Amino acid sequence: MNGATALINTLANCGVEFCIANPGTSEMHLVQALDAVPRVKSVLALFEGVCTGAADGIGRMTGKPAATLLHLGPGMANGIANLHNARRANSPMINIIGNHPNFHVGHDAPLTSNIDTLAHNFSCWIKSECTADSLAQDGADAYTATLRQSTGSTGQIATLIMGADAAWGDSLGPVEPNAVPQRAKVNESAIDKVASIIEKRGSNTVILLEHHGTEQAAMAAASKISNKYGCKMFNGTFPARVDGGPGRIAIDRLPYFPEQVLGTLNGVENLVLVGGSTPVSFFAYQNSPAELIPEGCEVTRLSYIEEDAIDAMERLADRLGASKQSITTFEKKDISKPNGELNTKTIIQSLAATLPENVIVCTDSGGGNAAYPFCQSTSQNNWLSLTGGAIGQGGPCSVGAALACPDQRVLAMLGDGGAAYTIQALWTQARENLDITTVIFANNSYNILDVEYGRLGVTNVGDIAASLFDIGNPAIDWVSLAKGFGVPGGKADTGEELCALLEKSYGTPGPFIIQANGEIKR
């Protein structure tokens, strides 16, 4: 058995179910191995940013790594933007990067480049000197690395740079999986400290739940404490995944702009960090602080990213005598379908009014993010946000979520700017007949830039600057693009049309795209 086949068998033994691939010549033996090991489902994408975004979606929905198969430095480079998002989501993922054999790298053939230097941008684990003998164990170690949480890690992404000679050489066969790492428990002193603060400060405390702290059980404990002591609870602005909707723990998110975050936290005396970090401004502005903590507010940590936030929150609730307290959940409300012209508000209303049960929402747009609070009162959902700010993530992520969860409808709420980055995701949706509804907020604009430009104090935007925010010249025909990639779709100019198309899509297996025309009026 060659190294490649030993590797893929080992990954299958560990629990890897998918390999999202865009192979090249240097990976032909790995393709042969995927052919021989159908336990790992091979999924082809036309662009590597789709591979890495899809693997991120699988990681968020299953808690287990998917593999990607990418072609040398340039192939990996095409995947980096969504690897950046996956790193910020703390998603487990194993990249297998094909490379020339070691004996060939020194000859500097055209596709040779320094792959390691790229991998350091997003990987917590990199191995590049593998051999046919080491490859199976390297795969098992990569799997473990993606699940081993650690503070200061650059994420949960393992990158195995596999020379073709390691793939084609004779191996000793697959290896047994390593033990699965467990999260560390927080020290009693952290519980003590936070408990005494909440007892003392009560309603002037905010509990900020991020990463492992966004699990329902951790948020349930926070809800009990909140109901007893009156403290507020928030998720971060862009959590990797939060399960919401009626019956799930009610929680708000911190807003986006720095002055809004400071407004939300105004008067707070203590901020308790569960799993995450002190809130910081997404971008820097002149005369605006980086850390978004009101003056005089103390920051106290309950748990680090690698620690067990559920255990910590439940112990904290116990300590505070809140374990028997009731929890507060989102309540079901009827949202009426809007009529007439579409704009961001009526698009969101249409989405909320028609949201199917048990939906997975993927969004990398401002509009999608704004839809979050409106959708929590309609249907249960798993909400996957853009964690790293690199747009072009929602479409690929929806592919992964749909592969991982074939019994759920996936709803991708995409901005037109972001959707154009990784439009190739539609082709894999068609190929795998995935139950994905894509809604494009078609405002023909990098609208956020227009907003940010205004924040500079520029009221009179020049022609050249305006042209750099304007993606409406020419206007993109999203239904035509989708047709090109094999996905049917329709356009909506009114609330009635949008709701009808959404409901049609939810009732029909397979992918569908809806262009929601809500142009910004200037």
Packed helices 48-62 and 394-404: angle between N→C axes, nearest 10 degrees: 50
Q: Are 132 and 116 in contact (CB under 8 A)?
A: no
Q: Are 326 and 221 in contact (CB under 8 A)?
A: no
Q: Does 293 bind a second copy (CB under 8 A)?
A: no
Part of the chain binding a second copy (CB under 8 A), chosen from 172-180, 187-195, 328-336, 477-485: 477-485
Q: Which of 73, 139, 174, 400 binds a second copy (CB under 8 A)?
A: 73
For residue 387, the minimal CB distance to a second copy (Å) is: 7
Part of the chain binding a second copy (CB under 8 A), chosen from 74-82, 198-206, 315-323, 335-343: 74-82
Residue 307: DSSP 8-state: B
Q: Are 34 and 20 in contact (CB under 8 A)?
A: no
Q: One-letter amino acid identity for 317? A: A
Q: Are 350 and 498 in contact (CB under 8 A)?
A: yes
- Closer residue to a second copy (CB): 254 or 320: 254
Compute the distance between CA of residue 294 and CA of residue 300 in angstroms, rounded to an integer: 14
Q: Are 387 and 88 in contact (CB under 8 A)?
A: yes
Q: Does 290 bind a second copy (CB under 8 A)?
A: yes
By CB under 8 A, what part of segment 75-94 binds a second copy? 75, 77-78, 80-81, 84-85, 87-88
For residue 164, the minimal CB distance to a second copy (Å) is: 6
For residue 518, the minimal CB distance to a second copy (Å) is: 18
Q: Which residue has the tokens 């002193």?
A: 189
- Closer residue to a second copy (CB): 137 or 517: 517
- Closer residue to a second copy (CB): 291 or 331: 291
Q: Which of 7, 12, 66, 164 binds a second copy (CB under 8 A)?
A: 164
Count the residues of the shown chain that bind a second copy, applying the rule CB under 8 A. 102
Compute the distance between CA of residue 216 and CA of residue 249 in angstroms, rounded to an integer: 7
Q: Does 221 bind a second copy (CB under 8 A)?
A: no
Q: Which of 3, 49, 174, 356 binds a second copy (CB under 8 A)?
A: 49
By CB under 8 A, what part of segment 264-283 binds a second copy? 277, 280-283
For residue 361, the minimal CB distance to a second copy (Å) is: 19
Compute the distance between CA of residue 28 and CA of residue 69 in angstroms, rounded to an integer: 11
Here's the x/- map for a second copy, 9-48, by CB under 8 A: it reads as ------------x-xxxx-xx-xx-xxx-x---x-x-xx-
Compute the distance between CA of residue 160 and CA of residue 30 in angstroms, rounded to an integer: 13
Compute the distance between CA of residue 42 and CA of residue 379 in angstroms, rounded to an integer: 32
For residue 121, the minimal CB distance to a second copy (Å) is: 5
Q: Chain-centre distance of CA 399, in angstroms?
A: 12
For residue 60, the minimal CB distance to a second copy (Å) is: 16
Q: Does 330 bind a second copy (CB under 8 A)?
A: no
Q: Does 462 bind a second copy (CB under 8 A)?
A: yes
Q: Does 456 bind a second copy (CB under 8 A)?
A: yes
By CB under 8 A, what part of segment 345-404 binds a second copy? 387-390, 392
Here's the x/- map for a second copy, 226-255, by CB under 8 A: it reads as ------------x-----------------
For residue 427, the minimal CB distance to a second copy (Å) is: 7
Q: Which residue has the tokens 């939060």?
A: 242
Residue 133, burial from CB neighbour count under 10 angstroms (0-12, 13-18, 19+): middle
Q: Which residue has the tokens 């010249």?
A: 473
What is the secondary structure of 71-116 as a DSSP string? EHHHHHHHHHHHHHHHHHHT--EEEEEEE--HHHHTT--TT---HH
